[in-house]
Structure formats: structure tokens, C-alpha cells
């Protein structure tokens, strides 16, 4: 089997796939890329059994065939090669691989392509089409709020909730929650599923370079995302997602409106002096003045800053984990931010101060921390 391919084109595709490679695989064959040649089309596959990514690219070839090529070694040689055509010659009997370039020849040993696990086929899937930019934004706005608790696996992914009038993307770790809604995306019938964090990270990186429509197919066990020349198939998280609407407080009479960047910068500075375990910052709102403070009694560290703001409601003091606030303010992206609160022991809600894209609605919720007076 023989084919010719551009070194830079192949490297770019493989770099998009390498994120799925696990550092320690139960099956040694998964340390390889599967190369399949069929009629001038090369299909490259990488998998960790939970997530499988395939990419197609055009090559010069005359024969059909498949081979598994050691991933790390192939990536290293491609990174070291200048942009040029490379000729791959594969011995179909012993799976010896020879790569010929302008500089010289490189030999390595591959494995039978038939040993590589087959990509799952989705039976009777439902489907929906989402613009790549919209899906990338939904992942970026929510992924940081997912949890890492092995005892609650449903919280370690993003909840896709599709209906006839909107699509919702929800993430929570029980301390913070993000609900990203798009009213410009609809599904023929209501459906919901939980996608794990790893495939979403891979998807986010690939979507950044395309303007295509993403065809999302899903059934009870798997979901696939197809766009351009790529397809990602992943196993879904099994379980019932918590009733997130129940934790979002509906009555929030206290509303703080403030410049997002000033608020973010002040919290970052003050948080440097907070307790290294709780990361607690205190917000004291009095009229049109917001006082932000933090202290670490173990080291006698303390910081205070004051900002002007627009505020409706009763004066109040409330404490938050500064890391959660920073994450949310970074991901909101609007010029101003609105913080709605009801009481010092109830969740605070962060909303963008200005309307975003057409059909977009973002709500972020953060649980308070007990203030140690």
C-alpha cells in the first residue's frame, strides 16, 4: 500500500486528533492512529474507546488498505519535517512502514488496521444542526462550571436540553451553575443528554477554526458531531441531571450593576490576600459604593478596595469564593455585569449588562460562602 500526502496537511489533522490519545491505554493498539486508504481518501482515526475522532483528507493513492501507525513517533517526525510531500509505503504482510521525504527515509513498525477498535455506529439516532460558532460559544460559556466529583458523574459534563422552541446548555458542580440558552435553535422533538468534558474540550478546539454547520446525532448511549471533514463520536454520561431550575432563585430584589472589567480586576487583586483554602472575598454594598475585602488571618494579610456602582435594594454584605467569581466574569464577556441577590445566604445571579447575540440568553449562578465575622 502506498500513498503521498503533504506533511503540513497531515500534521495539522493529526494535531486535531491527538487530544483523544490517553497517556495510559488499556489496549496498546490505542497508542496508534488508524490510517485507512480508500479511493484517494485517507481516513485517520484516534480513540480511547470512550471518544473516537476521525478526519478525512485527500491523498494520492492507488490501493485500498489500513494500518495502525504509532502516534507519538509519527507526530514527532512530522513536526521535525519541513512542508513537503511525503510518500508512505506500507508492507501489507508485516506492516513495516517507510516514509520517504526529500531529506531521507524513515522506517517504523505498524500494526494491523483490523486490530483497531471499530467506531461505534449510532442506531436510530435523532439529529439537530447547530452552527459551529454557536456550539463553540455554548461550550466555552459552560464548560468551566462542570464538576470533577467521581461520585456525581452527571455533573462532570454539559447537559444538552433540546426543545421545539430553544436549546439549553447547562453545567454545574453544585457551587456554581451556568445556563446558556439559544432561542434560535430548535429540535423537532424534546430530548436531553449529558456529554462528558473530554470530547467537549476536543470539539471546542476543532470548532474554533470552522464556520460550518455541525450535525449532532444522538441516541441513548452515544452522540456524534460531524462538520467539515471531521467526526467525533463519544459515549454519553448515563444518569438523570439534577433539577437545575429549582436552585435558581426567582425573587432577587437587590440588583448591582457594575463595569465588568473593573469588578474583575479588583477581585483578582483583593483575592491575592484571601485565605488560601476558602478563597473568600467579601462584598459590602452600601448605596452606590461596593467595598471588596479579603483577609487571611493565618498570615495577617488583608486587602480592601472600593468601586462605584449602580445599586437597587437594601444594603448588604455577602461572601463568595473569588475563583468562582473570576471564572464567571471572564466568561460573561459583556461591558457591564448585573448581579442579582436576595439574601446573604442565598445564591447570587450574574447576568450580562447588555443584550448579546440574537437569541442568546446567559445566566450564571454562584453559591455564597459563610462570612466569618
pLDDT tens column, 98-139: 999 998 999 999 999 999 999 989 999 999 999 999 999 999
Separation of CA 152 from chain center = 19
Q: What is the DSSP string of 68-125?
A: EEEHHHHHHHHHHSPS-EEEEEE-TTT-EEEEE-SS-EEEEE-EEGGGSPPPPPPSS-
Instruction: Please state which architecture CATH assigns to domain 2-115.
Output: Roll (3.10)
Q: Supply the pLDDT for residue 346.
A: 94
pLDDT at 372 over 70: no
Q: Say what the pLDDT of residue 373 is.
A: 59
- As a whole-number percent, the residues of the chain with pLDDT over 90 amount to 89
Tell me the pLDDT tens digit for each residue of 81-90.
999 999 999 9
Query: What's the CA gap between 238 and 24, in Å, rounded?
Result: 24
Residue pair 312/255 in contact by the 8 Å Cβ criterion: yes
CATH number of the 126-245 domain:
3.10.150.10
pLDDT value at residue 138: 96
> Does residue 285 have a pLDDT over 90?
yes
Rounded Cα–Cα distance for residues 182 and 162 (Å): 10
Domain boundaries, the chain: 2-115, 126-245, 248-366
Model pLDDT for residues 297-355, shown as the tens digit of each residue:
888 999 999 999 999 999 999 999 999 999 999 999 899 999 999 999 999 999 999 88
Cβ(109)–Cβ(89) under 8 Å? no
Local structure of residue 369 (DSSP, 8 states): B
pLDDT by residue (tens digit) across 144-194?
Answer: 999 998 889 999 999 999 999 999 999 999 999 999 999 999 999 899 999
Q: How far apart are CA 10 and CA 78, in angstroms?
A: 8
Residue 184: the pLDDT is 93
DSSP string over 239-297 = SPPP-GGGGS-S---EEEEEEHHHHHHHHHHHHTTS-TTT-EEEEEEETTEEEEEEEET
**pLDDT computed for residue 22 by the predictor:** 85
Same fold for the pair 2-115 and 126-245? yes
pLDDT grade for 358, boundaries at 50, 70 and 90 = confident
pLDDT of residue 123: 92
Domain made up of 248-366: CATH architecture? Roll (3.10)
Question: How far apart are alpha carbons 136 and 143 in whole angstroms?
Answer: 10
Question: What's the grid cell of residue 58?
Answer: 485527500
pLDDT of residue 224: 97
Q: Please state whether beta strands 85-90 and 2-6 pair in parallel, antiparallel, or not at all (unpaired).
A: antiparallel
pLDDT tens figures, 256-283: 999 999 999 999 999 999 999 999 999 9
Amino acid at each position: 500500500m502506498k500513498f503521498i500526502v503533504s506533511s503540513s496537511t497531515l500534521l495539522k489533522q493529526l494535531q486535531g486528533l491527538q487530544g483523544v490519545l490517553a497517556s495510559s491505554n488499556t489496549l496498546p493498539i490505542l497508542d496508534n492512529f488508524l490510517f485507512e486508504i480508500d479511493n484517494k481518501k485517507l481516513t485517520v482515526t484516534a480513540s480511547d474507546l470512550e471518544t473516537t475522532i476521525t478526519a478525512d483528507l485527500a491523498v494520492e493513492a492507488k490501493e485500498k488498505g489500513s494500518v495502525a501507525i504509532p502516534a507519538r513517533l509519527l507526530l514527532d517526525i512530522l513536526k521535525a519535517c519541513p512542508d513537503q510531500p511525503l510518500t508512505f509505503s506500507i508492507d501489507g504482510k508485516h506492516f513495516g512502514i517507510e516514509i520517504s521525504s526529500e531529506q531521507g527515509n524513515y522506517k517504523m513498525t505498524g500494526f494491523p488496521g483490523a486490530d483497531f477498535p471499530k467506531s461505534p455506529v449510532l442506531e436510530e439516532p435523532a439529529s439537530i444542526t447547530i452552527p459551529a460558532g454557536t456550539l463553540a460559544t455554548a461550550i466555552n460559556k459552560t464548560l468551566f462550571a462542570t464538576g470533577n466529583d467521581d461520585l456525581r458523574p452527571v455533573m462532570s459534563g454539559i447537559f444538552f436540553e433540546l426543545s421545539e422552541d430553544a436549546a439549553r446548555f447547562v453545567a454545574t458542580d453544585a457551587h456554581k451553575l451556568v445556563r446558556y440558552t439559544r432561542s434560535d435553535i430548535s429540535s423537532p422533538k424534546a430530548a436531553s443528554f449529558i456529554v462528558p468534558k473530554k470530547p467537549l474540550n476536543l470539539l471546542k478546539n476543532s470548532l474554533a477554526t470552522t464556520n460550518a454547520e455541525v450535525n449532532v446525532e444522538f441516541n441513548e448511549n452515544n452522540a456524534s458531531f460531524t462538520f467539515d471533514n471531521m467526526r467525533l463520536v463519544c459515549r454519553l454520561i448515563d444518569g438523570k441531571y439534577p433539577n437545575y431550575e429549582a436552585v435558581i432563585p426567582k425573587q432577587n430584589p437587590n440588583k448591582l450593576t457594575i463595569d465588568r472589567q473593573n469588578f474583575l480586576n479588583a477581585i483578582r487583586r483583593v483575592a491575592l490576600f484571601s485565605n488560601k483554602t476558602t478563597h473568600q472575598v467579601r462584598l459590602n454594598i452600601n448605596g452606590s459604593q461596593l467595598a471588596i475585602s479579603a483577609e487571611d488571618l493565618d498570615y495577617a494579610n488583608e486587602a480592601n478596595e472600593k468601586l462605584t456602582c449602580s445599586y437597587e435594594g437594601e444594603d448588604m454584605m455577602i461572601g463568595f469564593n473569588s475563583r468562582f467569581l473570576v471564572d464567571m466574569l471572564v466568561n460573561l464577556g459583556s461591558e457591564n455585569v448585573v448581579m442579582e441577590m436576595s439574601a446573604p445566604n442565598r445564591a447570587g445571579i450574574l447576568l450580562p449588562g447588555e443584550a448579546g447575540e440574537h437569541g442568546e440568553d446567559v445566566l450564571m449562578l454562584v453559591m455564597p460562602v459563610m462570612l466569618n465575622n
